[in-house]
Amino acid sequence: MLNRRVARFIGVRSARLVLLLAGVAVGAFLLLEASPLDPVDAYVGAEIARVGPEQRAMIAERWGFDDPAPVKFARWIGNVAQGDLGTSSIFNAPVTEVISTRFRTSLTLLAAAWVLSGIIGFTFGVIAAMRRDRLADKVIRWLAYTFASAPTFWVGLLMLALFAVQLGWAPVCCATPIGVDPATATLGQRLAHLALPAITLSLIGIAPIALHTREQVIDVLASDHVTFARAQGEKGWPLIRHRVLRNAAVPAFTLQFASLSELLGGSILAEQVFNYPGLGRATVEAGLRGDLPLLLGIALFAALFVYIGNLLGDIIATRIDPRISLLDRKVGS
């Protein structure tokens, strides 16, 4: 019985994922096909001035730039189905390889920022709720709203100017020290390079988590459940820990997983500011230099990443709070 439900769950979710990815694939392909970018220009880049028409024709032929759109799409989607996302023209390497190397670099940054924003946001939210309408609450809310209005890249820029350029406490770029084989970089060196971008990126996520947690905790504190526990003599930290945190943590977790989309988007800006060689920078490079295969690959990957994030959020929510059953939830709408 349960197995059948699990199977159905997996089946439905997989079907939705495939449908979604197909939608993203078609949509992204149509968008990029409509692009005014000349792929030959994109390929030769700054060398454009030196390329004659005969060479242009040869480049177009070599990469199949001149084929009609349906032919290109059929070829691309056929290859995608076999796990081949094509070749990135700016990195001159398979798209899958570019994405996997770049994403591995980004992953540390994403994970660090994700954990940081979760912990800080949740803590702030709880503090604000406990100190409702007092100074701490007001400061936290003001900060949260301000950070929500501040451009991420500007905050990063200021941190870079202050801590890296002026004070020299942190490196100005990259994921590992300049001139050192990334494979041999020590943990300390990696952390030093990670600190500023991770803090910048975490700022995106702190505000929503803090504000959301604050509301949740206030609700829980006002609930019969807590009133009853209080009447039983529970108070202070044990009360918070047993009655409040658990109930506030579930929505926080779900929200935190749902924020993976924002986080991935924000990493594009953070990586750009800190010159961090991850997937975000690759996205910008691909956009600026018209690397269409790479952009398509990144779009598919991002959709997959966000989908998995949401799914994990749902699954983990059921683990923390047994009252929510994922399997009984109506999928869709």
Partner 1 sequence: MLFLFVRAVRRPRIIAAIATLTLAVTACTTSSTDEPTAAPESLVLAVGSEPDGGFDPTLGWGEYGSPLFQSTLLRRDSDLELVNDLATGVSVSDDGLIWTVTIRDDVRFHDGEPLTAHDVAFTFSAAAASGGVIDLTDLAEARVVDEVTVELELERPRSTFIHRLATLGIVPAHAHGDDYGRGPVGSGPFVFERWDTGQQVVATRYADYHGDLPEFARIVLLFTDADTTLAAARSGDVHLASVPQTLAGDAIEGMSLIRVTSVDNRGVMFPYRPDTGEVTDDGKPIGNDVTSDLAIRQAINVAVDRSALVEGVLEGFGTPAYGPVDGLPWFEPASIVADGDLDSAAAILEAADWTGQPRSRDGVEARFTLLYPGTDPVRQALALAFRDMVAELGIVVDVDGVGWDIIDERRHTDAVVFGWGSHDPTEMYNLHHSALAGTGSFNAGFFADDQVDTYLDLAMGAASLDEANVWWRAAQLDEDGHGFSAPSLAAWAWLINLDHTYYADECLDLGQPQVEPHGHGWPVTAGILDWRWVC
Partner 2 sequence: MTADTTLITTSLDTDRRRTALVQLTVAAIAITLTLVAASVLAPIADITDLSARRQPPSWQHPFGTDRLGRDMLARTVVGLRLSLGIGALAALISAAIALVIGSVAGVVGRWVDAAVSWLVDLFLSLPHLVLLILIAVAVGRGIRGVLIAVALTHWPTLTRVLRAEARRVTASEYVTVARRLGRSETSIATGHLSRHLGPHLMVGTILLFPHAILHEAALSFLGLGLPPHAPAIGILLADAMRELSAGSWWLALLPGLALLLVVKAVDAIGQQIRALTDPWSVHA
Q: 88 — phi, psi (to 5°)? A: -75, 125
- 214-218: long-range contacts at Cβ-Cβ below 8 A with a sequence spacing of 24 or more? 214/124, 214/125, 214/126, 214/128, 214/129, 214/137, 214/140, 214/141, 215/129, 216/125, 216/129, 216/247, 216/248, 216/251, 216/252, 217/125, 217/126, 217/129, 217/130, 217/244, 217/248, 218/129, 218/132
Amino acid identity for residue 189 in this structure:
Q
Strands (E), the chain: 87-88, 93-94
78 binds, among partner 1, partner 2, none (CB under 5 to 8 A by kind): none
44 binds, among partner 1, partner 2, none (CB under 5 to 8 A by kind): partner 1
Q: Is 188 in the site for partner 1 (CB under 8 A)?
A: no
Q: Which is nearer to partner 1, 120 or 174 (CB)?
A: 174
Q: Is 83 in the site for partner 1 (CB under 8 A)?
A: no
| Residue 187: Cβ-neighbour burial (10 angstroms; 0-12, 13-18, 19+) | exposed
Please list every residue from 220 through 279 that binds partner 1, using CB under 8 A. 275, 277
Q: 93 — phi, psi (to 5°)? A: -145, 160
* Alpha carbon distance 132, 138 (integer Å): 8
* Number of neighbours of residue 102 by Cβ within 10 angstroms: 23
Q: Which is nearer to partner 1, 16 or 56 (CB)?
A: 56
Q: Is 331 in the site for partner 1 (CB under 8 A)?
A: no
174 binds, among partner 1, partner 2, none (CB under 5 to 8 A by kind): partner 1
- The binding track of 287-316 with respect to partner 1, each residue x by CB under 8 A or -, is -xxx--------------------------
Q: How far is CA 135 from each of CA 121, 127, 130, 216, 245, rounded to the nearest angstrom? A: 17, 11, 11, 19, 22
- The binding track of 104-143 with respect to partner 1, each residue x by CB under 8 A or -, is ----------------------------------------
Q: Is 100 in the site for partner 1 (CB under 8 A)?
A: no
Q: 169 — phi, psi (to 5°)? A: -80, -30
- Closest approach, Cβ 58 to partner 1, in A, equals 3
Q: Is 168 in the site for partner 1 (CB under 8 A)?
A: yes
* Alpha carbon distance 240, 99 (integer Å): 43
Kindly indicate which of the ranges 14-22, 41-49, 143-151, 202-210 contains the residues binding partner 1, using the contact rule CB under 8 A.
Answer: 41-49
- Closest approach, Cβ 181 to partner 1, in A, equals 7
Are the C-beta atoms of 129 and 221 separated by less than 8 Å?
yes
Kindly indicate which of the ranges 5-13, 232-240, 281-289, 320-328 contains the residues binding partner 1, using the contact rule CB under 8 A.
Answer: 281-289
Q: Which is nearer to partner 1, 253 or 276 (CB)?
A: 276
Q: Is 50 in the site for partner 1 (CB under 8 A)?
A: yes
- Closest approach, Cβ 130 to partner 1, in A, equals 43
Residues that bind partner 2 (CB under 8 A): 19-20, 23-24, 27-28, 31-32, 34-37, 145-146, 148-154, 157-158, 160-161, 165, 172, 261-262, 264-266, 268-269, 272-273, 283-284, 287-288, 290, 295, 298-299, 302-303, 306-307, 332-333
Q: 179 — phi, psi (to 5°)? A: 80, 10
List residues binding partner 1 (CB under 8 A): 36-38, 41-42, 44-56, 58-59, 61-62, 89-93, 98, 101, 164-165, 168, 172-174, 176-179, 181-182, 275, 277, 281-282, 288-290
